[in-house]
Amino acid sequence: MAKTIEKKLEIASEFVKCPKCGKDIKPQGMPGHMRFVHATHTPSPRKDAPPPKPIQRVVASVSVVQELKSIVADLDEVRQELERVKKKKDAEWFKHDETLDDRLSVLRAEETKLKARLQQLKARTTPNT
Ligand SMILES: [Zn+2]
């Protein structure tokens, strides 16, 4: 008789009672029991919860505006340089400096590239609706 009580006490100290169903569970098994038997795991984020889009959109538009500004600045610089080279070429037409022609074509290509990029960005910032 005394032996059974001892055994019961031993078991009682080895296990903890589940607060939900009263079942004896090993302490290390309790988190799993709660999770799988009583499904008390932290709920996964609701699928209809609004995604953190607005902030991302604001950041995106700020970076677009910054890019626009830098492209406009670049374009300005390229055009000024283009004017300088053209004037130099006009003034030194008799020298027939080929490096000036090269410089002009490089600048014109750069201007075209920047204009295209500018159009792309403007299309992105203008709503299609
Ligand atoms: Zn339980």
Ligand 1 center from residue 29 Cα (angstroms): 11
What is the Å distance from ligand 1's center to 35 Cα? 9
**Residue 52 near residue 116, CB atoms below 8 Å:** no
16 C-alpha to center of ligand 1: Å?
10
66-121 tens-digit pLDDT: 888 999 999 999 999 999 999 998 888 777 788 888 999 999 999 999 999 999 88
| Residue carrying the six token digits 């130099």 | 88
Assess contact for 124 and 71: CB atoms under 8 A.
Answer: no
Q: For residue 63, what pLDDT band results from cuts at 50, 70 and 90?
A: confident
- Do 18 and 30 form a contact (C-beta atoms < 8 A)? yes
- So what's the pLDDT on residue 124? 75
Which backbone phi and psi does 88 adopt, to 5 degrees?
-60, -40
What's the predicted TM-score (pTM) here? 0.48
Tokens of 72: 């406009």
Output 86 or 129, whichever has higher pLDDT: 86
What is the Cα gyration radius of the chain? 37
One-letter identity of residue 90: D
What SS3 state is found at 17?
A: strand
Alpha carbon of 8 to ligand 1 centroid (Å): 20
CA of 38 to the centre of ligand 1 (A): 6
